[in-house]
Amino acid sequence: MSRGPARLSAVRAGRRWLAPALWLLLLLGACLGMARFEGLFRLVEPDSRAVIYARADFLVLLGRHLQVVGVAALLAILLGVGAAVAVTRRGGRDFLPLVAQLASMGQTFPPVAVLALAVPVLGFGTLPIIVALVLYGLLPIVRNTLAGIEGIDPGVREAARGMGMTGGQLLRQVELPLAAPVILAGIRTSVTINIATAAIGATVGASNLGDPIISGIVNGNTAYVLQGAVLIGLLALTVDSLFARLQPAAPR
């Protein structure tokens, strides 16, 4: 009799991952089969000699895009969560307004302006766009981490201290698990925004899915622009749906 509920639970778990799997299949299918839609893109650019971007393989560009966004996301998470946790401790509360303001300033600077300032110092390539994405992605992570930790019921902290927990144990075993859904929502927003923002890295030699878009703009080829935009959109939907499935699983 126990097989019924177990099977039902497995079916429900499978359905939870159906949307990310479908978006991923669409993304990979578009990367591998873009040439099959040449006739469709020919309607958009009937006078162009080539309507399918062929300077680099779309799967290679996808991998480079994920690499840049992944590194920037990891750095933003380490910096954002670390700074937010530090200023919610007793010794760092005086710096809380400063950290919040610095995170806000990072997003008020346009990524293009950050690139313009970073390239003379860091040179062309992926490093300037990673710096720009880190600055641009900090605000949602810092803001949500602060909201998640500050929103915990003080009575919960008192109960944990009454049980003899140290400050480190309180953070690891109580505060971070309870704040995890809110923190994850901030990370989700940050990563999803940066998937689209990373496309401008193609302007400074950071090869990614922005390459077809920039090439299309330079050469007046709308088909190239559409190909890059579609792939970036599918990637954003894939990652966002993945975060949507991970969020409910976070401790409450």
Domain tally for the chain?
A: 1
214: containing domain: 61-249
3-state secondary structure of 231: helix
Kindly state whether residue 141 falls inside one of the protein's structural domains. Answer: yes
Q: Could you give the angle at the alpha carbon of 240 between the alpha carbons of 239 and 241, nearest 5°?
A: 95
Kindly state whether residue 225 falls inside one of the protein's structural domains. Answer: yes
User: What is the tens place of the pLDDT at every residue in 162-210?
Assistant: 888 888 888 888 899 999 999 999 999 999 999 999 999 888 888 899 9
Kindly state whether residue 43 falls inside one of the protein's structural domains. Answer: no
User: What is the tens place of the pLDDT at every residue in 40-68?
Assistant: 999 999 888 889 999 999 999 999 999 99
3-state secondary structure of 1: coil
Kindly state whether residue 95 falls inside one of the protein's structural domains. Answer: yes
CATH code of 235's domain: 1.10.3720.10
Non-local (6+) Cβ contacts of 71 within 8 A are: 130
Q: Rounded CA gap, 200 and 102, in Å?
A: 23
Kindly state whether residue 184 falls inside one of the protein's structural domains. Answer: yes
Kindly state whether residue 55 falls inside one of the protein's structural domains. Answer: no
Kindly state whether residue 128 falls inside one of the protein's structural domains. Answer: yes
Q: Rounded CA gap, 125 and 201, in Å?
A: 8
Amino acid type, 89: R
pLDDT of residue 1: 45
3-state secondary structure of 164: coil
Kindly state whether residue 22 falls inside one of the protein's structural domains. Answer: no
- Tell me the pLDDT band of 7, cut-offs 50, 70 and 90: low
pLDDT of residue 2: 52
DSSP 8-state symbol, 172:
I
